C-alpha cells in the first residue's frame, strides 16, 4: 500500500441517526431491485442426498475466548448459525446459477428465533439481532476460493478487531455481511452442479463444497506484502494481498491469480510494550 493510500484511510465518520437510517433504506432498496432485476438465476433448490465428490472442506471454532458477558453473545451466535445453516445446507448451485447468502437466509428477526450477537459497526463492537453470521460467510468464502466457482460479490472487513491468536488462515481471507446489501454472491461458471453442505458441530462450524465430478485442480491461497503501517491520525492500518495458485492434483504449479487486497484499520496496538532491562 502506498503512502497516499494510507493518508486517504480514516476512522469512520460519525453520522446522525437519520442519515444512517436513510442510508440503510437506500441500500436495501437497491438490493431488492437487484434481486428482482432478472440479471441472475439464483440458486434455490436444496437436496438431502450429498453429491459424490468433495472439492474442499473446512471448519472454524465456534467459541472465541472472551471475557465476562461477551461469552453470552458467543452462545447466541451459535443459535444464529444453526438457523442460517438450516436454510443453506444442501443447496444446489447449478451451471449458470448464482448463490446469494442473504437471498437464501433471509432477514434475521426475533420471530425467526435469531438472538443478539456480536457485530462491528462504525469501528465499534456492538450487539444486534443475528450477530455473528459473518462466521458463516467467512467459511463459505474461504471454501469457495479453493474451487472453480466464481465470487462475484464479497465485502472485506473494514477493521481488524482482534490480535492474531493461533491464526491459521491469512488475515483478510473472510467476508463480512449485513442484511441485505452486504451480501456474498457466488456464480457457477462451470459445466457441473455443486452443492454446499454446512452444519454446526459440537465445537466447530463445518462446511464443504461437493460436486458431480472429482476436482481437476487444487488451489492454494498465498499471502504477500503483509505489513502494518501507521496512519496520520495515530492509528494503524493492516495491509496484505492474497493470491490463488492453481495446481494439478499431483501438485504441479499451473498459474497464479491475484484475488484481493485488504486495508483494515486496527482496533488494537500491534506494538508490544518493551520490558525494562
Share of the chain above pLDDT 70, in %: 90
**3 pLDDT above the threshold of 60:** no
Q: What are phi and psi of 239, to 5 degrees?
A: -130, 145
For the record, the C-alpha cell of 51 comes out as 453429491
| 124-129 vs 116-121, strand pairing mode | antiparallel
200-250: pLDDT as tens digits:
999 999 999 999 999 999 999 999 999 999 888 888 999 999 999 999 999
**How far is it, in rounded angstroms, from Cα 186 to Cα 113?**
27
pLDDT band at 4 (very low <50, low <70, confident <90, very high): low
Is the Cβ–Cβ distance between 21 and 106 less than 8 Å? no
Is the Cβ–Cβ distance between 248 and 217 less than 8 Å? yes
DSSP helix/strand/coil, 62 = coil
In the chain, DSSP assigns E strands to: 53-61, 92-93, 98-100, 116-121, 124-129, 150-153, 159-160, 185-187, 194-200, 204-211, 217-230, 236-248, 253-266
Q: What is the DSSP letter of 138?
A: H
Residues in the chain: 277
| pTM listed for this prediction | 0.91
For the record, the C-alpha cell of 163 comes out as 490480535
Name residues whose C-beta falls within 8 Å of residue 86's C-beta, 6 or more positions apart in sequence. Answer: none
Q: What is the pLDDT of residue 146?
A: 99
State the CB neighbour count (10 A cutoff) for residue 205: 23
Closest to 244 (Cα-Cα) out of 269, 224, 272? 224
Sheet holding 236-248, edge to edge: 159-160, 253-266, 236-248, 217-230
**6 pLDDT above the threshold of 60:** no
At CA 25, angle to CA 34 and CA 141, rounded to 5?
A: 55
Cell 487444487 -> residue: 218
**How far is it, in rounded angstroms, from Cα 30 to Cα 27?**
5
For the record, the C-alpha cell of 138 comes out as 467467512
Cell 480514516 -> residue: 10
**102 pLDDT above the threshold of 80:** yes
DSSP helix/strand/coil, 18 = helix
Amino acid at each position: 500500500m502506498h503512502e497516499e493510500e494510507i493518508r486517504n484511510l480514516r476512522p469512520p465518520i460519525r453520522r446522525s441517526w437519520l442519515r444512517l437510517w436513510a442510508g440503510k433504506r437506500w441500500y436495501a432498496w437497491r438490493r431488492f431491485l437487484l434481486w428482482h432485476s432478472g440479471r441472475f438465476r439464483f440458486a434455490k433448490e436444496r437436496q438431502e442426498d450429498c453429491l459424490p465428490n468433495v472439492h474442499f472442506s473446512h471448519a472454524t471454532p465456534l467459541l472465541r475466548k472472551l471475557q465476562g458477558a461477551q461469552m453470552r453473545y458467543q452462545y447466541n451466535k451459535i443459535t444464529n448459525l444453526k438457523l442460517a445453516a438450516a436454510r443453506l445446507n444442501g443447496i444446489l448451485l447449478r451451471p449458470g446459477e448464482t448463490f446469494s447468502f442473504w437471498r437464501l437466509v433471509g432477514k434475521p428477526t426475533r420471530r425467526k428465533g435469531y438472538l443478539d450477537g456480536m457485530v462491528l459497526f462504525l469501528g465499534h463492537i456492538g450487539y444486534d439481532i443475528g450477530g455473528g453470521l459473518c462466521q458463516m460467510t467467512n467459511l463459505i468464502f474461504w471454501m469457495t476460493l479453493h474451487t472453480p466457482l466464481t465470487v462475484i460479490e464479497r465485502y472485506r472487513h473494514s477493521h481488524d478487531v482482534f490480535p492474531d491468536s493461533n491464526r491459521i488462515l491469512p488475515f483478510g481471507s473472510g467476508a463480512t455481511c449485513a442484511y441485505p446489501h452486504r451480501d456474498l454472491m457466488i456464480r457457477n461458471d462451470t459445466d457441473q452442479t455443486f452443492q454446499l453442505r454446512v452444519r454446526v458441530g459440537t465445537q466447530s462450524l463445518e462446511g464443504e463444497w461437493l460436486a458431480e465430478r472429482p476436482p481437476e485442480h487444487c488451489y492454494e491461497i498465498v499471502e504477500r506484502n503483509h505489513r502494518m503501517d501507521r496512519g496520520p491520525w495515530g492509528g494503524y492500518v493492516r495491509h496484505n494481498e492474497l493470491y490463488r495458485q492453481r495446481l494439478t492434483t499431483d501438485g504441479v504449479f499451473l498459474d497464479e491469480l491475484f484475488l484481493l487486497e485488504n486495508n483494515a484499520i486496527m482496533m488494537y496496538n500491534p506494538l508490544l510494550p518493551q520490558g525494562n532491562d
